[in-house]
Amino acid sequence: MQNQLNKVAVFKLNHDGTAGVLIKTLMNADFDVPTTVARFGRWLYLPNARFGPTPTHDTTYTAVRVRR
C-alpha cells in the first residue's frame, strides 16, 4: 500500500517470500487513502480511511474493488 499516494504496488514474490519484483502499480480515482487490502478471488478490496473530513455520525466510508 502506498496509501497517501492512493496507489497499490503489486509484487511477484519468490517462493520463500524473501524477494520480489514490481509487476504493476494500481491506481483508482475512488481511492481516498486506502488503508489495507483484502483479496477475494480475482478482486482486491481496499477500504478508504478518508482522513480529510472530520468524522460525524453521518460520515460514509467506502471500499474500492479492483481487479488483481
pLDDT higher for 59 or 18? 18
Query: What's residue 42's pLDDT?
Result: 94
Model-level pTM?
0.77
In this prediction, residues 22-49 reach a mean pLDDT of 93
Distance from C-alpha of 54 to C-alpha of 59, rounded to nearest angstrom: 8
Distance from C-alpha of 68 to C-alpha of 42, rounded to nearest angstrom: 6
Average per-residue pLDDT in the chain?
91
pLDDT band at 1 (very low <50, low <70, confident <90, very high): confident
pLDDT band at 50 (very low <50, low <70, confident <90, very high): confident
